[in-house]
Amino acid sequence: MPGRGVWLPSSRTKRPFREESPVAVDRRHEAETDAERKRLRALVTRSTDDDLRRAMPGGWTVAGVLAHMGYWDARAIYWLDKWSRTGQPTPYEPENVEAVNDAAKPLCLALRPRDAAQLALRLADEADSKVSALTDTVLAKAQALESLPFNLSRATHRKEHLDELESALAAK
């Protein structure tokens, strides 16, 4: 059951809607992001609960990696919601990604496998929707920054892990 017993960020947050503007922005990331989200949906749909419990390197499971992917989409959603309130993208604030991943790992692994898979899909949908809904003005401001707190192309992180997951599941 998607979301049963799992906290999910609200999808009712306000966000800027696209506006017509003379600002030229690059939205090429959207096609790649859409493709990787479809790949994620296909993997979750075809995976059995046994597949989701399958061990992965580093003490992870397929479901744990999916929850990890969802965490990073939830992080992007946090920044997108902040930007929608202020209309001003903020630059990247350095953090220790390994520490974040290691700290989140027990939480990711504690989720029921199917819940982790559904959470990853829900957060991918929400993050992609919010990136796509950025106004041209906000997107142009974000693209003008030297670095961002997350990658607008959610595909990059998903592709890395989907390649690993599909390889592990193919090795049955």
pLDDT in tens, 69-96: 999 999 888 889 889 988 899 887 788 7
CA distances from 57 to 61, 94, 116, 149, 161 (A): 8, 26, 18, 27, 12
- In the chain, where the domains are located: 29-170
At residue 96, the pLDDT reads 78
* pTM as predicted: 0.69
DSSP sequence for 3-22? TTT-----S----PPP---S
Q: Are 21 and 27 in contact (CB under 8 A)?
A: no
At residue 22, the pLDDT reads 65
Residue with the bigger pLDDT between 59 and 22: it is 59
Phi, psi (5° rounding) for residue 42? -65, -45
Class of domain 29-170: mainly alpha
